[in-house]
Amino acid sequence: MDRPTELPPSTDPLGEALHLLRLTGSIYARSELTAPWGIDLPALEGHMMFHIVTAGRCWLEADGNEPRLLERGSLTLVPHGLGHRLVDECGRESVDFFDLPVERITDRYEYLRFGGDGEECRLICVVVRFDHVAAERLVDALPPVLHMDVWESGDDRWLTDTLRFIAREAEALRPGGETVITRLADILVIQMVRRWIETEADVDTGWLAALRDDQLGRAIAAMHREPGAAWTLESLARTAAMSRSVFAGRFTEVVGEPAMRYLTRWRLQLARAALREDSDPVGAVAQRFGYRSEAAFCRAFKREFGVSPGSDRKVDATPKLSV
């Protein structure tokens, strides 16, 4: 196990954590909806749903939340895969999205036209998921719905221009338009999360609070940079410029678990993702993430996830349900 590298302290631990977030599996649908209409979007575990209103208006209804009006230029993120409804009027009966006559243009792009002969609403709906374990903690901290109105705002002009560009690409469907839309939608999702953290997140404890803490953030950033290094409580405390006892107590108080437990969970989550993404031998993955022996790694893995690394890899190899 390698000794921790002497790296300069991170000046932006939260920024480094956001840099780890990568979106994958983007699927988007362009919808032209005319009143009366209502669409029921079922829960999609492990995914986020992102809605962009390019014309007209509609309502988003989610159980346990107040109905939210979405108007032209609205960006709305439903980060927990929560089932919800999009309707032209509150209380409107809705039809399950998967029962609607959707035209599949490509594997990642669909077109929907639905409703009566009334007022039109045009939407771009994107389904995405993060493919890095850092996302699990971040998503857990997000509220059920994030919302931004930027179309007519003078602030963040690039956001307004990006929305207009996405709307044009969706309507024209030029060669390469699918790639352009999904890449830009990914950027908008990340920007919404960043803005929420900067302007609305009010947390005193938990992962986000620790990343915002000058000293604890350094230690967490160091673990993220070098998960396989031979970290000890002493070396992490030194990285945070704190005494061992003060660091240990402060970390547990803010994050909600001891520092070494956080490190173990982080390593195992990364290892699990690595096992599912490539074909490296279990022993090689174990060594990469700080385990001296494959047996020790397998024991820790089973304690954490309830199955052996090999079994978990086989389970993940089963076909996925397409969204």
Domain count, the chain: 2
State pLDDT tens for residues 293-321: 999 999 999 999 999 998 888 765 543 43
Tokens linked to 233: 């409580």
Does residue 31 belong to any structural domain of this protein? yes
**CATH number reported for the structural domain that contains residue 119 in this entry:** 2.60.120.280
Q: Rounded CA gap, 56 and 123, in Å?
A: 9
Asked whether the beta carbons of 92 and 80 are under 8 A apart, the reply is: no
16 occurs within a structural domain: no
Report pLDDT digits (tens) over 227-284.
999 999 999 999 999 999 999 999 999 999 999 999 999 999 899 989 988 889 999 9
SS3 category, 256: coil
Among the ranges given (5-9, 122-126, 146-150, 215-219), the one the predictor scored with the smallest mean pLDDT: 5-9
Q: Where among 199, 219, 252 does a domain terminate?
A: 199
CATH code at position 290: 1.10.10.60
The full 3-state SS of 173-221, as one line of letters, equals CCCCHHHHHHHHHHHHHHHHHHHHHHHCCCCCCCHHHHHHCHHHHHHHH
Q: Strand, helix or coil at 313? A: helix
CA distance readout (Å), 31 to 50, 82, 83, 244, 245: 13, 20, 18, 56, 57
pTM of the model: 0.73
At residue 49, what are phi and psi to the nearest 5 degrees?
A: -120, 135
Give the range of the structural domain holding residue 221, as residue numbers without chain letter: 206-316
Query: Could you tell me if 40 and 184 lie in one domain?
Result: yes
Phi then psi for residue 121, to 5 deg, are -130, 130
User: In a 10 Å sphere around its CB, with 0-12 CB exposed, 13-18 middle and 19+ buried, how is residue 305 labelled?
Assistant: middle
